Amino acid sequence: MIGGLDDTLVWNRTADEISVLEDVFKGLNINSLVFLRPKEPYASLIRFLAESALKSTHKSFGLIQPKDCETRTFLHDLPVIKEFNAEQIVRVLKKRKSVIIAPGKNIKNFKGPAIIAHGLVSPEQGFVTISSVCFASFIKFFTDYLDAFQTGVATDDAHDLFDAVIPYLEPIQKKLPEFIPSPFPNEETVYSAIIEAGQKIVEYGLVDSFFGNVSFFWNKTLYISQTGSSLDELRGCIDPVPLDNSTSAGITASSELSAHLETISRTGCKAILHGHPKFSVILSMDCDPVEKAACAFNEQCHIKCPKKRFVASTPIVPGEVGTGPFGLCNTLPSALEQTNSAIVYGHGLFTTGKNNFSEAFTTLLEVENLCRNIYFKKIRLLRRT
């Protein structure tokens, strides 16, 4: 359900929740509100995480704290409340972009869980936030479940939920799409190829929300998706960034522009794809329990992990978005010199193509399928012991 405020407040449909949500509008300086009851498997995963968060505080407020990159940079954490109450919702949304309502069994007249997110400029902001909450919750459960299983603390409830949600997972994609063939004869074709690649990444479930990026190097210029753009709607959202810095187009380019530029400089590739496929992200955070207990970096593993780890031949590297001493521009390009794919810890998968997007997309899909297979193989082995 969506509410939008201009001169008047309007809703896309009628619903019992509107009376409470209208009071939320009164308490916040916003122009839109998105209310969602997520479908499976997200509903069960979010309910489980929310109830666990509330139990840990023994209060009517709790926090789900995923450790993936999207949460760290965009959400920080996922607040949870028990009651569908305007005052409590307003209190949370003044500090965070979303709130999860997970009513206890004694709370009547409200079916949960539900997610509420607001937009300061447009309803799209709420959609993006809710998509990110669902993604982060998926990553959180499956990461925690594997970790708990490996350390011998997985609960019966977690085992039961794992078994219950598996049938809802999308099947592994194997059939590859066709792409505009290279070489690209002109700039118009370059734009079309980037738009097509972005659409395929979304269509195959290799990215969530508006995260991820696409670039192609042509005629001494890097064409790259803009920061905050939706990969399936890239028309008008691609920046041409000349290598000689003769324009300021890079100001609105992806925050990972510097990593893309350094990668094409080191590897000679022309195409770069970056997605956030779920099991690549999950497996990137899988660490040997003994090593994890002795790790000196603790909460800074995502930028300082010194251990060389791989999924087959794909390296897992630390790094944070942007520049700086731990920026991806310092960690990612050197990894991509050795192979055409690299997973950034808790972040996502980067792949390269020598001349077009077909090779990069094939690698993106193959690595994600491999990560998914490895994850479930680990679970099967643990269940046998």
The predicted pLDDT at position 107 comes to 53
Whether the Cβ atoms of residue 378 and residue 295 lie closer than 8 Å to each other: no
Q: Are 202 and 363 in contact (CB under 8 A)?
A: no
C-alpha to C-alpha distances, 192 to 187, 225, 245, nearest whole angstrom: 9, 12, 24
- Domains of the chain are 2-168 (3.40.225.10), 187-384 (3.40.225.10)
pLDDT-based confidence at 384, cuts 50/70/90? confident
CA atoms within 13 A on the CB side of 75: 31
Q: Does residue 125 have a pLDDT over 70?
A: yes
Residue 23 gets which letter from DSSP? H
User: 283-328 pLDDT, tens per residue?
Assistant: 999 988 777 777 777 778 888 888 889 999 999 999 888 778 888 9
CB-based contacts of 288, cutoff 8 Å, min separation 6: none
Chain centroid to CA 6? 31
Question: Is 106 a residue whose pLDDT tops 50?
Answer: no
Provide DSSP, 150-205: HTT---HHHHHHHHHHGGGSPPPP-PPPP-PPSSP-SHHHHHHHHHHHHHHHHHTT
pLDDT of residue 104: 62
**131, pLDDT greater than 50:** yes
pLDDT in tens, 357-375: 999 999 999 999 999 999 9
The mean per-residue pLDDT over the stretch 65-93 comes to 93
Nearest to 226 by CA among 204, 247, 210: 210
